[in-house]
Amino acid sequence: MKILIVDDHAILRDGVEMLLRRGDDDTVVVQASSADDAVRLLDEHADLDAIVLDLKLQGMDGLDALAVFATMRPGLPVIVLSSSEDPGAVRSAFAQGAMGYVPKSASPRTLLSAIRIALNGERYVPPLVLDDPALQHQDGAAAARGSMLTQRQIEVLRYLAEGVPNKVIADKLGLSEKTIKAHITAIFKALNVINRTQAAAAGRKAGLI
Residues lower than pLDDT 50 in the chain: 135-141, 143-144
* Longest Cα separation, the chain: 53
In this structure, the answer to whether residues 82 and 173 fall within a common structural domain is: no
Q: Would you state the pLDDT for residue 139? A: 41
Question: Is 188 found in the same domain as 120?
Answer: no
Number of domains in the chain: 2
**Mean pLDDT, the chain, as a whole number?**
86
pLDDT digits (tens, 9 = 90+) for 112-153: 988 988 888 878 878 776 555 554 444 444 544 555 677 888
At residue 133, what are phi and psi to the nearest 5 degrees? -60, -40
Determine the pLDDT at residue 130: 54
Residue that is last in its domain, among 76, 109, 135: 135
Give the per-residue pLDDT at 39.
93
Give residue 201's pLDDT.
87
How far, in whole angstroms, is CA 37 from its chain's centroid? Answer: 15
Does residue 209 belong to any structural domain of this protein? no
What is the end-to-end Cα distance of the chain in Å, rounded?
A: 44
Range of the domain at 53: 2-135
Res 147: pLDDT: 55
Contact 203, 158 (CB under 8 A): yes
pLDDT at residue 206, rounded to an integer: 77
CA–CA separation, 21 and 35 (whole Å): 23
Strands of the 78-82 sheet, one edge to the other: 28-32, 2-6, 50-53, 78-82, 100-103
| Separation CA 151–CA 29 (nearest Å) | 31
* Amino acid making up residue 35: A
Q: Give pLDDT, residue 23.
A: 65
User: What's 66's domain CATH number?
Assistant: 3.40.50.2300
Does the predicted model carry a pTM greater than 0.75?
no
CATH of the domain at 163: 1.10.10.10
111: helix, strand or coil: helix
Rounded to the nearest 5 percent, the helix, strand and coil shares of the chain are 55, 10, 35
Question: Does residue 192 sit within a domain?
Answer: yes
What pLDDT does 35 receive? 93
pLDDT value at position 138? 45
Element (H, E) at 4: strand 2-6
- Helices within 24-107 (DSSP H only): 35-44, 62-72, 87-95
Query: Residue 134 has what pLDDT?
Result: 55
184/160 same-domain check: yes
The domain boundary residue, chosen from 83, 109, 135: 135
Last residue of a domain, one of 135, 159, 189: 135
Same domain, yes or no: 26 and 90: yes
